[in-house]
Amino acid sequence: MEKILITGSTGNNGKAILKNFSGTNIPVRAMLRDISKAPIKADNISYVEGDYEDKNSLLEALKGIESAFLVTAFEPSFPEKHAAFIHAAEQAGIKHIVQLSGLGADTSSPIDIAKWLGEAENHLIHSTLDWTILQPASFNSNFFASADEIAQQDTISGPYGSEPGATIVTVDHQDVGDVAAKILIEPAEHTGKKYILTGPEQLTYTDTADILSEALGRKISYLPISDETARLALLNAGVPERATDALAQLWPVTREWGHTIELSDHVEKILGRKPTSLKTFFDNESSQFNLREV
């Protein structure tokens, strides 16, 4: 009988956790909206359909579960979806939730995303459940959004100021997945703790372009663009206006305060190894940033 539930199993974080359990003797249940999109096939992984807006589906997904990983997309409904899951988990008798939050979570923040994260954290902290909260930095895989531009134009554009651009700290999805899996297996020692998850380095956007240049064997340059240009690009890509506005709030903050983000040793302390560097990520994923043959 499965005792662990993974939500968001078609997303990068969910898949990273499932990768840890695949082929082991630990039975795991994964929740998703469409079972036909199950990402990993393994004898010890079962799938169940669930929707944050359908309480009965959540209760069914949580039946018999002791610990769960909770993640939803960063959008205006983020706090409400977390609250719905947490309330269902209380009703189902769940013991422990590992929640994916983010850096800067704060209900009093003027930044929408930070406020959403803070509200979601508070729903869990003030529940009757044991909890662990993960606060990751920006994900390495966010660079996939620039893959076509990099492949076609040899640039990484962003509203992060003139060269060398803002300083950023990132973390690898697999590191986050590895941390979450370890906590889900042995949650007791992590109860009531918040972990900040970062990679091993602070980098400017020019540093990032140089690392990618080395991985691809050709020159990639950082291209500064205005906030309005970046905003229009998101809207043209189909990102909803409310989400676009929330992301746009982060750009001036990153330009002014990005260099103040401190590195954390929590990944290394929990996993017993160094976190994945951006260079390793780009080396492993270099094919994603090259032109594809049609």
Q: Is residue 218 part of a domain?
A: no
Task: Write the CATH number for 38.
Answer: 3.40.50.720
For the chain, the 3-state helix, strand and coil shares in percent, each to the nearest 5, are 45, 20, 35
Asked whether 95 and 67 are in contact (CB, 8 A), the reply is yes
Residue 33 domain boundaries: 4-139+172-198+262-276
- Round to whole Å and give the CA distance between 215 and 204: 17
Question: What pTM was computed for the model?
Answer: 0.95
Distance CA 21, CA 177 (A): 10
Confidence of residue 293 (pLDDT cuts 50, 70, 90): low
Would you say residue 223 lies in a domain? no
Q: Is the Cβ–Cβ distance between 13 and 176 less than 8 Å?
A: yes
Return d(Cα 187, Cα 252) in angstroms, integer. Answer: 37
Total domains, the chain: 1
What sign does the dihedral 192-198-204-205 (CA atoms) show? negative
Span 97-125, pLDDT tens digits: 999 999 999 999 999 999 999 999 999 99
Residues 143-193: tens digit of each pLDDT: 999 999 999 999 999 999 999 999 999 999 999 999 999 999 999 999 999
> Is residue 270's pLDDT more than 60?
yes
Q: What are the tens digits of pLDDT across the range 220-256?
A: 999 999 999 999 999 999 999 999 999 999 999 999 9
